Every structure is written in C-alpha cells, then in structure tokens.
Amino acid sequence: MDLLVAVTLFVMAVFLGIELITKVPPTLHTPLMSGSNAISGITIVGALVAAGADHRAFTTVLGFAAVTLAMINVVGGFLVTHRMLGMFGPKRRREASAREAPSAEDAGSQ
C-alpha cells in the first residue's frame, strides 16, 4: 500500500507542477525564480532524506535524480536572478564588467 500512496503523490505532484508552471505569465517568470529557489531547497532536503533512507534501490535512485534535478534548478535560478539584477545595476558597473570580459570578436582579432 505504501508504494501505491507514493506513486499517487508523485503523479499528483507532476500534474500540479505542470499546471502551476504553465499558468505563470512570462513577465513574472524571472522575479519568481527567487521563490522557486527556496522551494527547490526544500525539495533538495526531502530528496536527500529519500536517497539516504536505505529502503530500496529504487528509492535511492529516485532520490538521487531528485537531488540532481533540484540542484540544476537552484543553480539555474541563481544565474538567472544574478543576470537580472545586473541589468538593473548602475551603468558604471555594467560598463566596467563589459570591459573586463572580452567579447568573441576581440579574442579573434588578436
């Protein structure tokens, strides 16, 4: 019976996640990444518990996959948020960072 409950919860979570993600307008997607990072942090904790519970090999594999995917989501979210915040920073800081990082054209001409 435990497997049936776990599969039911998993299927419900997939459907709920798809419905929530598809209903978010594109203009709100980037600001919501910070909240998504917090939720993914909770997911990582739960996935670590599932992976380390030592019930079955299947549980460990699913826990490992959940940890991997949640970490990808967290890192991607931080990168997007950092890039978004850089767009709103002072102009001097953006110009200085553009001068520090050479473009592909600059590298090819040398």
pLDDT score of 75: 83
Provide the whole-model pTM.
0.51
**Summary count for the chain: helices (H), strands (E):** 6, 0
- Name the token pair of 28: 């709100």
Own/partner contacts of 19-22, CB < 8 Å, gap of 24 or more, are none
Contacts of 47 (CB under 8 A, 6+ apart): 63, 64, 66, 67, 70
Binning pLDDT at 50, 70 and 90, where does residue 58 land? confident
Q: 106 or 45: whose pLDDT is higher?
A: 45
Burial of 70 (0-12, 13-18, 19+ CB in 10 A): buried
Place of tokens 């590298």: 107
Residue 72 has pLDDT above 80, yes or no: yes
Task: Examine the pLDDT at 5 and tell me if it is beyond 80.
Answer: yes
Q: What's the confidence (pLDDT) of residue 2?
A: 83
The pLDDT score that the predictor gives to residue 104 is 53
pLDDT confidence bin for 92, thresholds 50/70/90: low
Domain boundaries, the chain: 35-100
Task: State the average pLDDT over residues 60-71.
Answer: 84
62 vs 44, 56, 92, CA distance in Å? 12, 10, 47
For residue 106, how many C-alpha atoms fall within 13 Å in the half-sphere facing its CB?
6
pLDDT at 53 over 60: yes
